[in-house]
Chains A and B, each alone.
Chain A
Amino acid sequence: MKRLVIVVTFTLAAQYGCNRAADQRDRPRIALVLKTLNNPFFIEMQKGAEDAARKSGVDLIVQAAEREVDVEKQMQIIENLIESKVAALCVTPSGSKEIVAAIVKANRAHIPVVVVDTRVDAAALKDAAGTVSTFIGSDNFEGGRLAGEFMAKALGGHGEVAILEGIPGHETGDSRLRGFHEAIKKEPGLKVVASQTANWERDQGFNVFQNILQSHPAVRGLFACSDLMALGAVEAIAAAKKTGKIAVIGFDAFDEARDAVRRGTMVATIAQSPATMGTLAVENAVRLIHGESVPETIPVDIKLITNESEPGRK
């Protein structure tokens, strides 16, 4: 009985995956392992990758851990995909250093690795003698710098500024932060009074910024290292009835953030193109499968989205 129930449940649930695997077994299979799928950024990336896969006639397997920072689960997924003999592996590392062990395993199985969005720690990779075929992503440092420059402009060069950081030790967030500080350094009138992590999460963005407002009521500008945290903070600002009085700059340019910029609850966001990243990842993975060479780094455009750059768009 127990056996029967387990067999039936499992077969039903696996039907979807099975059909896909059985129908197209001879086409090359490319894996895209994302940090998570509960974040619009990665869903955009998945869409871009799926489009490219359709055009190139390859099978795309998209997998992700439930939590963005679950490095161990991401490693397990990669190990399992290596066992299923995918032809190429594209990955957005959950941890810049922790991913290295998984990359080395892919290297040993002679599966080319394309790293997307978050860089792998170069020293750790070298230390473990791992190799990455190419990195596709935007220059987060440059994005942070753009945000810093615009902050100075929006505040007229003086005022208290707060920062919502990503998860500490996360290469993406750290670069954005360094870029922002680099730009702010040139503005003696701007003072960073609080810089705390909201762990990339919207609800934490709300809570942490609410707390910052309590301790620093004079804050006039906020730079959040991601739009999710920025949008959380926007709600906290609305709750404190300070909408429009604090210049919020986010990062990622989600549709919701672009809307906020148009409505004026945020002053700017930095646009990365996750869909382009996904497309480039698959296209280059296909090239690698065919034995063609690819550049070591493939930059993806990054730009500032403000009220002036947005009005034409619906």
Chain B
Amino acid sequence: MRQLRSKSYAARSANSVSARFGISRYRQIGTLSGLLSLSLVLWILSPYFLTVSNLLNIAEQTSIIAVVAAGMTFVIIAGGIDLSVGSLLAFSGVVMASSLSAGRSIPLALMTGLAVGLLCGIANGLLISIGRLPPFIATLGMMSIARGGALVFTEGRPISGFSETFRSIATTNVLRVPFPVIVMLGVYILCHLALARTKLGRYAYAIGGNETAALLSGVNVHLYKTMVYGLSGICSALAAVLLTARLNSAQPIAGINYELDAIAAVVVGGTSLMGGEGSVAGTLIGALIIGVLRNGLNLLAVSSFIQQIVIGFVIVIAVLMDTFFKGRGK
């Protein structure tokens, strides 16, 4: 009997996942049309906007925050939040950089950096799942710990000057497409598949939608929550690789406010902060909207202060529209 009941829970939660997935796909079209109309306006206003080199430039600039936001999407879908991403980026970045400076091979240094991100992410996950801390508090703590760790590790100084080979991670172009953009696309394809096709993805929706129901239907909530935060940590560390190669420098103060940029990309992309629904494709579009906007405002030589106001308005309006449509759907 008990088994029967848990099966029906599982079936129901699987149903609701596919239903939500449908809605979010519909909403992606809304977000995409937002991106396209924004581009249209910029194309009319600036002769420099719609050129191949500028579009690639935007994609490259967006790649770092987009990679961070991919992991953040999983966390938010699972009903959490990760405020530590910027600090994890800095911490894993400086650890990787010091390992490079110490003459270790590039693959080894990359693995070290990614491992730091993963471990810190897992620590977040354990604090939240087993420690029962609210995600806001656990990752707020980690945000401070990892930032301090990065500063202690480097004595506050940036680590810079890497080999040509390492820098080529950011400077190589494949058929004119900058390599960071390819990394970003790779991350998004993998994350999309993981979210749509794997247990990790489906359980993330289930946990974010109704944690008790997920638990009762036999989902190992502790494990999957921890994995989600671990994934976010890896994404931050991967972004650190791109940023360090791009600037030829790893700074302990890198990535400040990245958590806010990443959360903005996720919510503009239509993922609900309440958890249980959303998509990585939406996040990519959300990150691009913010990237296109910043680029366009620069091209139009809009004052830096006004830029902040415009970006704030776009975030608020995008989410407002989203809630509006959601209300209507019901």
Contacts and interface: CB of A to CB of B under 8 A. Distances in A.
B223 interface: no
Contacts of B173: none
- Interface of B, secondary structure class, is helix
Nearest to A100: B248
Interface string A166-185: 01110000000000000000
Q: How large is the interface on A (under 10, 10 to 19, 20 to 34, 35 or more residues)?
A: 35 or more
A272 to B, nearest CB: 22
Given A13-B306, A13-B309, A37-B304, A98 B248 contact: yes
Contacts of B54: 83
Given A18-B45, A84-B48, A97 B294 contact: no
A67 interface: yes
B303 A85 contact: no
B302 to A, nearest CB: 4
Nearest to A86: B301
A51 interface: no
Contacts of B57: 79-80, 83
Interface stretch (B31-39, B109-117, B121-129, B141-149): B31-39
Contacts of B48: 83-85
B314 A16 contact: no
B249 A97 contact: yes
A7 B317 CA distance: 11
Interface in B242-287: 243, 246-249, 251, 253-254, 256-257
- Interface of A, secondary structure class, is helix
Interface stretch (B1-9, B96-104, B155-163): B155-163
Interface in A81-105: 81, 83-85, 95, 97-98, 100-101
Interface string A1-23: 11101110111011011101100
B23 interface: no
Q: Which of A10, A100, A101 counts the most B-chain CB atoms under 10 A from its CB?
A: A10
Nearest to B291: A76
Nearest to B253: A69
A72 interface: yes
A-B CB proximity, top 7 nearest: A80-B298, A17-B302, A17-B300, A168-B156, A169-B157, A61-B301, A3-B37
20 contacts: A2-B30, A2-B318, A5-B321, A7-B37, A9-B317, A14-B302, A14-B310, A17-B297, A70-B256, A71-B251, A71-B254, A75-B246, A77-B298, A79-B61, A83-B48, A83-B299, A97-B158, A97-B248, A101-B248, A168-B157
Interface of B: 30, 33-34, 37-38, 40-41, 45-46, 48, 51, 53-54, 57, 60-61, 64, 155-158, 160-161, 170, 243, 246-249, 251, 253-254, 256-257, 293-306, 308-310, 313-314, 317-318, 321
